[in-house]
Every structure is written in C-alpha cells, then in structure tokens.
Amino acid sequence: MKYTVSSINIFLFFKLPSVWWSGIRVKKISLKRCRANVRLGWFNKNPFKSLFWAVQGMAAELTTGMLIMQSITTSKKNISMLVLNNKGNFSKKAKGLISFNCCQGEMINETINRLLKSKKPQTLWVKSVGKDESGDIVSSFDFEWTLMLKK
C-alpha cells in the first residue's frame, strides 16, 4: 500500500470500517508524523454531548499504527505489530473538530532498524495527542507496540 492520505482513507473503509464510520480520517502523513481528524457527530458522541473516549482512542491509535505500518513497508521485511498496552488521559471535553498527532516517526524507524539488526522482538511506547480547534489538548494516548520479525 502507498501511504498517501487517500489510499489510507480507502484502506480504512475496507479494513477498519468502525474507524471510517466513526468519522476518523487521516489528513496528513509523512515519514515523521501522522495526523488524523474526527469531528463530534451523532454517531460518535457520548451521553455527555462530547466525543466518545473510544473514538478518541481509535484516532490516536491510528496515527501511531500508520507510522509503524509505513516504516514496516519501507523496510521490505515481514514484521508483525501488536498493541501490548495503552494509557489514555482526558484533560478537556472533546467537542467540535479534534486533531490527533503522532510525531515519532523517526523513533519508530530507529526501533525497526534495531529489530532488523538484532532480530529480537522490540517494544516501543508511541504517543498521540488530541487537540481541539483552539489548540487545547483534550486527550493524549500512549501505546506500547511490540514488533517481531515473522519467520
């Protein structure tokens, strides 16, 4: 798969439909960062008229996972990836348009290079931060990913 905004969003529709129907869309991706947006709507709201926490988690995980998938594809090796742990922090009610950003592409690439050299499973914590239209942080998520070479 090419890692362009349009190809990723098509991938979401077919492979991760819950992400698509929740309104999450990748807006920007590079080797260093990934940004996904989600707007509060009827389908993704909670009873408190804000963005459901799990939708925020999906958007956050997507930004970290896309950077890892892109790095794996670039390596041309058969590598498995799996979330081992995650932590979330909610600091403000999520209303309106929320943008989740992960800016750890370089660290991800370094970890994959370490995996390829050592051939031993690697773990890494990757962060995604969600901000509202005012630039205020509404939530942040940390995901512990495990990476292994497949045989």
Alpha-helical runs (H) found in 1-151 = 5-15, 17-21, 53-75, 105-118
CA-to-CA distance for 131 and 93, rounded, in angstroms? 11
Range 5-149: architecture per CATH: Roll (3.10)
Which is nearest to 139 in space by CA: 100, 84, 91? Answer: 91
**CA distances from residue 120 to 11, 38, 70, 71 in whole angstroms, order as listed:** 30, 36, 20, 17
Helix or strand (DSSP H, E) at 96: none
The stretches in the chain having pLDDT less than 70 are none
CB-neighbour burial class of residue 42 (10 A; exposed 0-12, middle 13-18, buried 19+): exposed
Angle, CA 71 vertex, CA 9 and CA 58 arms, to 5°: 45
- What does the pLDDT read at residue 151? 84
- What does the pLDDT read at residue 1? 82
Using CA atoms in the order 94, 95, 97, 99, what is the torsion angle rounded to 10 degrees? Answer: -10
- What does the pLDDT read at residue 50? 98
